[in-house]
Amino acid sequence: MITPKSFLSLGLLALAPLLAWQDDSQPPTQQPLIGFSRQSSLRQLEIEGIFASVPSPESARFHHRYLTEEPHVEGQPAQRRVAEYVLDHFQKQGIPAEIVEYQAYYPYPRSVAVQLLEPDKKEFALREVGYAVDKDSFSEDVILPFHAYSPSGEVEGQVVYANYGLPDDYAALQERGIDVRGKVVLVRYGRSFRGVKVRVAEENGAAAVLIYSDPMDDGYFQGDVYPEGPMRPASAIQRGSVEFIFIYPGDPLTPGLPAHSDAQRISPEQAVNLPRIPSQPLSYQDASQILKSLRGPVVPKGWQGALPFTYHVGPGPSRVHIRLQMDFAVRPVWNVIGRIEGADYPEEWVILGNHIDAWTYGAVDPNSGTTALLQVASGLGKLIREGKRPRRTLILAGWGGEEYGLLGSTEWGEDLRDELVRKAVAYLNVDVGVSGSDFAAQSVPALEGLIRQVTRTVRVPC
Ligand SMILES: [Zn+2]
C-alpha cells in the first residue's frame, strides 16, 4: 500500500534537484543523489530527513476525513469549505496563500431520465444502490449521475451498440451496412476519453450517446465488486466531463483568456469545445437491459463484454427515450495558491498541484492527493520554521473545477501565461496519490533514473 506519507516523500524527492534547499555546509558522500554533487547530497538528505519526519498516518487520516466528509462539486458551499480548509492549512504552516477565483461556464444536472421503450417498457433508476457498511452510499447529497457539458435535450431512437465508440468501431459498423445516423449509440467506457467518444459519435451522425461501464473492463470480470472488493458494482455509474478538452480545456466561453468576472465571453453556441448531442452515463445493470434486447448481427470479434449473453449490434429493436435537463451558468471556480519565495532563484518556479474538487466524496480522486499536498505543506512549514528556505520558488496549488475540464488550472495558466513561460521549471501533479497496492508514476523519460533511485530510498510503512 502506498500511503500518503510515502507518496508525498517520493513526490518531493523526485524533484529533488529542483527542490534544493539553501546549503552552507558541503560534507562529502559516497553515493550522491541524482542531480546533486557529492558535497551537497548529505546536506540535502539531512533537510529531506527533517521534511519527512513531519507527515504521519494520523495527520493524513485527519485531513482525509475532513476533505471527504461531504460531496464537494465545484461551486457548492461544501467545496468552498474544502478550499478554505486548504487555504487555512497552508497559512498555518507559514506559507503565504490565497484563494484565486475565476468565473467559468459549467452545468449542474437538474434531471436525468432514460427509459427503455421497446421491446419492454422500463424506466432506469439512474441511482446507485446503497450499502449498509457505507452510510455515505445512501446520501441524497450526491450529484445526479451525468456527463458534464452534455447539452440538455430529449431524444428518442433505436439503439446501436458501437463497442468503445472509437473511429474503427464505426468503420466496422459501416462495413456491416449499419448506419448510426439519427440513432442512439451505446458504447462502453475505456480506451478513449469519454469526450472523444461523444465527439466521434457526433461526427458519425448519432443523435445521442449512452456510455456504460462494462463489467469486463470495470466490474466483476476484474475481481470482487464493492463492498466485497474494490471493483465497480452493478448499479454504479461513472460521472465525468465530456467537454472537448482536446480542442481546448478550461472555461468554454473564454478560450485562451482568463475567466475573470469582467472577461469578454463568447456565446455557448460559439464554443467549439462543447458537445452538441446529449450524452448520459449508465451502470452495467441498466445497460444490460438495453444490450440484451439488441438484435441484428452478432458483434465483431473483440466487442463482446462480460455481460451474460451474446452481444448484437442492432439497430434495435431496443428503443430508448433520453431526457436531460441541465442548468448551465457562469459560476465561481476556486483555486488555492500558496507560495514560498526562493532564496537563490526566486524567478524559477517549481509547482506542486492537485485538484480539490470532486464529483462525490472523492476519497481517492482527488483527496488522497490533496492529503499528500497538505502533508507536503506541513513538511515545508517545519523547514521554514527552522529558518530554511528553498533555493527556487515553490508554488503549492489546489485547483478548482478540474472534474469539469481542468477549469481552475487552465484559467490560472491563461492568467499567468507570460510569467509561467519565463519562470516555470517543473510541475508535479499528485491527483490520486493513493490507490490500490501497486506503485505507479509517470514522468518524462529523463526522470526515470531519478524515480528508480527514489523508490529505493522511500520506505513503505506497513
Ligand atoms: Zn482527479
Positions annotated as catalytic residues are 402
Q: What is the pLDDT of residue 28?
A: 41
Residue 287: pLDDT band with limits 50, 70, 90 = very high
**Residue-level pLDDT at 135:** 87
Which residues, listed in sequence order, are joined to residue 395 by a DSSP beta bridge? 339, 351
Contact 156, 321 (CB under 8 A): yes
Cell numbers at 104, concatenated: 467559468
Domain positions in the chain are: 4-104+330-457, 120-317
Q: How many residues does the chain have?
A: 462
Distance 159 CA to ligand 1 centre (A): 31
| Topology (CATH level 3) of domain 4-104+330-457 | Aminopeptidase (3.40.630)
pLDDT tier at 443 (50, 70, 90 boundaries)? confident
Predicted local confidence at residue 22, as pLDDT: 64
Q: Which CATH class is domain 120-317?
A: alpha beta
Cα of 352 vs centre of ligand 1, distance in Å, is 15
49: pLDDT strictly greater than 70: yes
Joined together, the cell numbers standing for residue 142 give: 450526491
Instruction: State the pLDDT at residue 138.
Output: 85
**431 CA distance to ligand 1 centroid (A)?**
5
Ion ligand 1: protein residues whose beta carbon lies under 5 Å: 365-366, 431
Percentage with pLDDT > 70 across the chain: 93
Please name the amino acid found at residue 202.
E
Residue 154 · residue 179 · CB < 8 Å = no
Q: What is the pLDDT of residues 305-354, one digit of tens each?
A: 999 999 999 998 999 999 999 999 999 999 999 999 999 999 999 999 99
Give the pLDDT confidence score for residue 337 in this predicted structure.
Answer: 98
Contact criterion met (CB below 8 Å) for 399 and 430: no
By DSSP bridging, strand 392-399 and strand 319-340 are antiparallel
- What are the residues whose beta carbons fall under 8 Å from the beta carbon of 185, sequence distance 6 or more? 159, 160, 161, 162, 165, 201, 204, 206, 208, 209, 210
Please, which pLDDT band fits residue 433 given cuts at 50, 70 and 90? Answer: confident
pLDDT for the residue numbered 33: 87
Of the pLDDT bands very low, low, confident and very high (cuts 50, 70, 90), residue 437 is: confident
425 CA from centroid of ligand 1 (Å)? 23
Q: Hey, which bits of 269-391 come out as E strands?
A: 279-282, 319-340, 345-355
Count of beta carbons in the 10 Å neighbourhood of residue 439: 14
pLDDT band with cut points at 50, 70 and 90 for residue 109: very high
Model confidence, pTM: 0.92
| Selected residue with higher pLDDT from 217 and 438 | 217
**Span 121-132, average pLDDT:** 94
C-alpha 330 to ligand 1 mean position (Å): 22
> What is the pLDDT confidence band of residue 5, given thresholds at 50, 70 and 90?
very low
Bridge partners of 336, per DSSP, are: 99, 398
pLDDT of residue 385 exceeding 90: yes
Predicted pLDDT of residue 374: 97
Can you tell me whether residue 362 is helix, strand or coil?
coil
Phi, psi angles (nearest 5°) of residue 159: -105, 140
Whether 120-317 and 4-104+330-457 are alike in CATH topology: the answer is: no
Q: Is the pLDDT of residue 460 over 90?
A: no
Q: Are 308 and 146 in contact (CB under 8 A)?
A: no
Range with lowest mean pLDDT among 38-42, 302-306, 377-381: 38-42
For CA atoms 300, 275, 139, 111, the dihedral sign is negative
Q: How confident is the model at residue 194 (pLDDT cuts 50, 70, 90)?
A: very high
The kind and range of the H/E element at 410 are helix 407-415
Mean pLDDT over residues 259-267, rounded?
98
In angstroms, what CA-CA distances link 286 with 125, 134, 151, 211, 321? 8, 22, 22, 11, 13
Based on C-alpha coordinates, what's the Rg of the chain?
24
H helix count then E strand count, the chain: 13, 12
Q: Is 425 in contact with 349 (CB distance < 8 Å)?
A: yes
* CB neighbour burial string for 38-75, b if at least 16 within 10 angstroms, e if fewer: eebbbbbbebbeebbebbeeebbeebbebbbebbbbbb
The stretches of 275-386 forming alpha helices (DSSP H) are: 284-291, 367-385
